[in-house]
Structure 1
Amino acid sequence: MRIVVIVLVTLLFGSCAVFQPKKISVKPLEEKLITINRESITLKEILKNGLKRETIIQVYASYCPFSQDSFKDVVELQQNNKKINYVFLSVDHSYHDWKRGLETLKVKGSHYYIPKKGKGEIAKFLKLKTIPRFLLIDKNGKLKVFNTSKVSKIESKLNK
């Protein structure tokens, strides 16, 4: 009887575990994004360029008030962590809205537009329902922080 109870408790708590992948899966890495110059690039290519250091990815929309508020924290984070690679992925309504929104952003880093917005492979991987979303990737391409909405959670895991 004890064994049955132990198995049931293990299954119960095991099924409540939060999905925390170790790496970004293949499909999201191959999704096509758009550069500021309207060129096509994959997430895999973007991440390959910054693999020598930790990378923070923020998924946002320039029109979103929560995203706009988060940029204040990101600017502060950038001032204290200059050696980190910053990647910003926008789910704005259109390429032109995104370009217009970039004019007001004070964050520094690489900016890309996700044409499939919340319906592409990146959004599926992140289970993207709200923005902003942050990821922290270490030098080896492993996810240290997956899918948080707070810069403070990223800060606590930097360089650890």
Structure 2
Amino acid sequence: MWQAPPVRSLLPRITAGTSAAGIVLIVLGTFLDWTRSGSVYRDSYQSIGVLKALDFVEGTALTVLLDVWMAIVPVATVAVIVYAFGLRRNAAGLLSALSVVTGTVSVVAAIRVSGGEASLGIAGTGPTVTLTGSVLALLGATGVLVRPRPGEAARVGRQT
């Protein structure tokens, strides 16, 4: 008779799947609508381009955040590659940092979503999807980081 595997043995797959879904949603969310100007919607990268072109952020601390935001896709790609090479904790640490940055920006933007009557403002789709992905990715990465390394539990049991 078939028995379901214990949850402990499924945990690595669950955390990897949660992290993967989070990465996909983070990246996808950055390409969805973030700002609205009249009937024109712009993704986060187009919005950053407008801010930089108009020199609204030049010489401020926000410039660093915008530069970090432009690195989301490369950082997510590196995290996936590092995970594929078996360095799961390193990938989880990188993904945690990415999730904190994208989640913080997304939650601020999601709070600032303007109503349908405003012709200029924050659109809700991109920030909401990115925030959802950030939460999922952070949950998955946390699961990887708090789980004992393979064989570590057995060593700890012998020492006591």
Settle same-fold status: TM greater than 0.5: no
Q: Which has the higher contact order (CA 8 A, sep 6+)?
A: 2
Bigger radius of gyration among the two:
2
* Structure 1 length-normalised TM: 0.31
Using structure 2 for the length normalisation, give the TM-score: 0.31
Higher strand share: 1
* Structure number with higher helix proportion: 2
